[in-house]
Structure 1
Amino acid sequence: ENIFLVFLGIIYSLEVPKSVVEIGCGTGKNTLLLSQIAMKVCAIDFSAQMIEKAKEKVRSANVVFLTEDITKQWTCGNESADLVTCNLVLEHIEDLSLIFSEASRVLVKGGYFFICELHPFKQYQGTKANFQRQQESIEIPAFVHHLSEFFNTAKLHGFLLEDFKEWWHEQDKNKPPRLVSILLRM
């Protein structure tokens, strides 16, 4: 089951976001879905190559792509978004505090911050993000963030927990969860 689609169902049951900031948009897989539900999407990634791939996939007039480092202040205005979202991004960020601070700054009161990450349990077992280039597996640097770190950092920046889920592949029901999703509200 696509977690992002489940998340979209949660958001639809609450209210449709007018303005979305997607941090770590990568190749635009989720950006495409976001462009179909929001009036405006700001998709951010540090990699110009990823942004170019995303632009090929997403040609919606309501999407703006920005190449910038999300570990520094974002160019988004204060209280300019109803939703900030990231998918498999925060494991690559050492210090989460600035991310939560920026999400808090950018969100309107009552706005949502949706996080979906590799579950720390998988990381404890040695699972690491990687991609294939030709026949070589390239490991991407990652940092383990315990669940308490997500919750404590969120609380520090004024967020309230709206929803929390752990996700397994169907064949892995008796193993540690693969992913974790957290929906926070400002």
Structure 2
Amino acid sequence: MSIQAAYNNWSTTYDADENLTRDLDQIVTRETLMDLRCKSVVEIGCGTGKNTLLLSQIALEVYAIDFSAQMIEKAKEKVRSANVVFVTEDITKQWTYHNESADLVTCNLVLEHIEDLSLIFSEASRVLVKGGYFFICELHPFRQYQGTKANFKRHEEFIEIPAFVHHLSDFFNTAKKYGFLLEDFQEWWHEQDQNKPPRLVSILFRK
């Protein structure tokens, strides 16, 4: 099953399924970004809108992007803020946003499904104003080394979504290549993750 087809399928139960990674990501994003104030935010991989409402509260306008039309339909049911525009778009192609038009680009639980990080960082750098932030929160590569992938259950079958491993150095080296400076780096555990590798890594870059 393709990545896009998998997320279209998962959209019907994504919010209801037990998912510690999804829940922790929402906590991490709120803790990291809640004190920012932005004119314009581009949210990459908005999914069912789990972080979109927060972004609508810290920004004058939010462009929430996902390549799964079904995920976006679920997001529209939850987030009715007038300052949010939902867009169905493939982020592995050039984004439909003007140069230096955003103060913040966010990318949550998306990059594991992107083979080449270069275009994502290149486009983030292009659309951000100087001094703008690029926030990434992803499944920690230590978990990926153990074989962990995004997955969901459908008709008693577990469906794993295709993923690519990006080492921590991949994030930092690609960021440096496209003119980003490291602002903050954190590793995160869910309260049920005692004596386990970190579940998530969050990185805040500044252009």
> TM-score when scaled to structure 2?
0.85
Deviation by residue 1:130-169 (Cα, 9 ceiling, x = unmatched): 1223433221110000000000000000000000000112
User: Greater RCO between the two (CA within 8 Å, min separation 6)?
Assistant: 2
In structure 2, distance between residues paired with 1:161 and 1:48: 33
Q: Read off the aligned partner of 2:124 and give its amino acid letter.
A: A
Q: Read off the aligned partner of 2:62 and give its amino acid letter.
A: V
Partner of 2:162: 141
Matches within 5 A, 1:99-138: 99-138=120-159
Q: Give SS of 2:31's match.
A: helix
Offset of residue 86 of structure 1: 1.0
Offset of residue 46 of structure 1: 0.5
Gaps of 5+ in 2: 1-23
Gaps of 5+ in 1: none
How many residues of Structure 1 are paired with residues of Structure 2 in the alignment?
182
- Whether 2:106 is the aligned partner of 1:85: answer yes
Q: Give SS of 2:195's match.
A: coil
Q: Read off the aligned partner of 2:29 and give its amino acid letter.
A: F
Percent of counterpart pairs with the same letter? 84
- Whether 2:48 is the aligned partner of 1:27: answer yes
Partner of 1:16: 37
In structure 2, distance between residues paired with 1:127 and 1:103: 27
- Whether 2:29 is the aligned partner of 1:4: answer yes
Partner of 1:45: 66
Moved runs in structure 1, 4+ residues, more than 3 A?
A: none
Q: Give SS of 2:172's match.
A: helix
Offset of residue 184 of structure 1: 0.1
Offset of residue 37 of structure 1: 1.4
Q: Read off the aligned partner of 1:4 and give its amino acid letter.
A: T
Offset of residue 4 of structure 1: 1.1
> TM-score when scaled to structure 1?
0.94
Q: Read off the aligned partner of 1:151 and give its amino acid letter.
A: F
